């Protein structure tokens, strides 16, 4: 039994049309009860940073143009799921089973095997999905049946025996496993159909290994944490966070010069994969750093052709969105542009206005300064422009 949502489409996303995902589908597992989270609704439908938990990851997959997005939901969960996913295109709802493994198997069975070579399987309880991690997962599928994102174990480990330490484990050989996990579609579908292990399989990598499949590791991201307990939904962490960003691009003839969100007339422009706006790039990295969400390359890989010549205002808007979803607001931005030419003074106020507009803050929260290196180094020789930025965030509420 399954049902589809016919939703109105969102405006085209700046992260859409990624051709390398054209043969990839997504399964989001959202069929659990989520009782440990202590929320009035199952945790996948509870509000987290301003929207339902399920919607966060579904939006990211939709923005990456990965479709279909098959969501396994609880029995009679259609109203909650439809409300959480309203407006997203390419969504298919499937009533899950009594176990996670059964829910995934039922979701996989609805995907068209003729057009699908790869599938990402994700737990709805992990609202943040990093595009760079997805890229690593898909790339690594060339050499394995499945790929999982992992993180090292930092703490010492103790084996418990009725409250007594009975031994320890070698943390150097252990890894924390995250989702989404990527699989060759035919292989994971076959593995789920043949699964005869315990009904509470921890994840799909275990199901694949039980069927003789190989599983590779790639580096995950601390931002992709799982929401499990009541405290995960509380406002936690520092009330103020600070991040720093730095960027540099070469000056070249025949290029447009974009700086601080403005097109500036000059005999040379900055060369790069996007519009090479070093000022906005430095701010984006400062924002992402303050929110502990990686860097600009994780979210907008330079190897991705869709960002060729892209305006950096897209990157700024995306970083601002992530900051808001993490529960923070921008307190202030302090930007320094380092170059011999052009003169920044005549454009300083317009840059402040444009940056404030992109971040939806007052201009009083934006500082733009400029300096030279006394003709020393590559900036002093007029070979390029550098920028550094500091971003301060404060927790909302």
CB 205 within 8 A of CB 123: no
- What is the pLDDT, as a whole number, of residue 35? 56
CB 108 within 8 A of CB 192: yes
Is it the case that residue 296 has pLDDT exceeding 90?
Answer: no
Is it the case that residue 141 has pLDDT exceeding 50?
Answer: yes
Average of per-residue pLDDT across 342-357: 94
| Residue 40 pLDDT class (50, 70, 90 cuts) | low
| Residue 219 pLDDT class (50, 70, 90 cuts) | very high
Most confident range, picked from 51-55, 159-163, 299-303, 335-339: 335-339
Distance CA 380, CA 338 (A): 9
pTM score: 0.59
Dihedral of CA atoms 33, 293, 137, 174 in degrees, nearest 10, equals -70
Is it the case that residue 19 has pLDDT exceeding 70?
Answer: no
Measure Cα distances from 12 to 15, 17, 26, 270, 364 in Å: 8, 9, 19, 28, 32
Looking at domain 240-395, its CATH architecture is: 2-Layer Sandwich (3.30)
Is it the case that residue 13 has pLDDT exceeding 70?
Answer: no
CB 54 within 8 A of CB 28: yes
The helix, strand and coil proportions of the chain, stated in percent and rounded to the nearest 5, come to: 30, 30, 40
- What is the pLDDT, as a whole number, of residue 236? 53
Residues 74-90 have pLDDT tens digits of 999 999 999 999 989 89
Residue boundaries of the structural domains of the chain: 2-233, 240-395
Is it the case that residue 20 has pLDDT exceeding 60?
Answer: yes
Average of per-residue pLDDT across 256-282: 92
CATH superfamily of 2-233: Spore Coat Polysaccharide Biosynthesis Protein SpsA; Chain A (3.90.550.10)
Half-sphere exposure (CA, 13 Å, Cβ side) for 323?
Answer: 32
| Residue 237 pLDDT class (50, 70, 90 cuts) | low
């Amino acid at each position: 039994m399954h049902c589809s949502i016919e939703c109105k489409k969102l405006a085209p996303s700046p992260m859409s049309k990624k051709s390398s995902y054209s043969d990839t589908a997504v399964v989001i597992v959202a069929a659990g009860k989520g009782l440990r989270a202590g929320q009035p609704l199952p945790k996948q439908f509870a509000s987290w940073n301003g929207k339902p938990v399920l919607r966060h990851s579904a939006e990211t997959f939709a923005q990456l143009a990965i479709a279909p997005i098959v969501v396994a939901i609880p029995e009679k969960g259609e109203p909650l799921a439809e409300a959480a996913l309203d407006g997203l295109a390419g969504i298919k709802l499937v009533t899950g089973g009594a176990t996670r493994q059964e829910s995934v198997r039922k979701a996989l069975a609805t995907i068209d095997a003729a057009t699908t070579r790869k599938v990402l399987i994700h737990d709805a309880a992990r609202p943040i999905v990093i595009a760079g991690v997805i890229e690593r997962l898909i790339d690594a599928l060339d050499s394995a049946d499945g790929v999982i994102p992992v993180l090292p174990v930092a703490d010492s480990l103790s084996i418990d025996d009725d409250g007594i330490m009975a031994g320890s484990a070698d943390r150097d050989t252990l890894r924390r496993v995250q989702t989404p996990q990527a699989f060759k579609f035919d292989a994971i579908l076959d593995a789920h159909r043949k699964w005869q292990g315990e009904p509470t399989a921890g994840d799909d990598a275990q199901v694949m290994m039980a069927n003789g499949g190989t599983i590779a590791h790639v580096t995950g991201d601390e931002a992709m944490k799982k929401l499990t307990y009541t405290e995960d939904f509380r406002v936690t962490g520092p009330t103020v966070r600070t991040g720093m960003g730095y960027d540099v691009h070469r000056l070249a003839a025949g290029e447009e010069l974009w700086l601080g969100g403005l097109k500036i007339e000059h005999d040379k422009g900055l060369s790069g994969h996007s519009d090479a706006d070093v000022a906005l790039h430095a701010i984006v990295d400062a924002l992402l750093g303050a929110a502990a969400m990686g860097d600009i390359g994780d979210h907008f890989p330079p190897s991705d052709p869709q960002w060729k010549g892209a305006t950096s205002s897209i990157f700024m808007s995306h970083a601002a969105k992530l900051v808001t979803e993490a529960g923070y607001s921008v307190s202030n931005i302090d930007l320094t542009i380092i170059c011999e030419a052009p003169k920044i003074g005549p454009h300083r106020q317009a840059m402040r206005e444009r940056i404030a507009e992109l971040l939806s803050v007052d201009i009083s929260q934006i500082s733009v300064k400029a300096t030279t290196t006394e003709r020393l180094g590559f900036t002093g020789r007029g070979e390029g422009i550098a920028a550094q930025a500091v971003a301060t965030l404060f927790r909302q509420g």
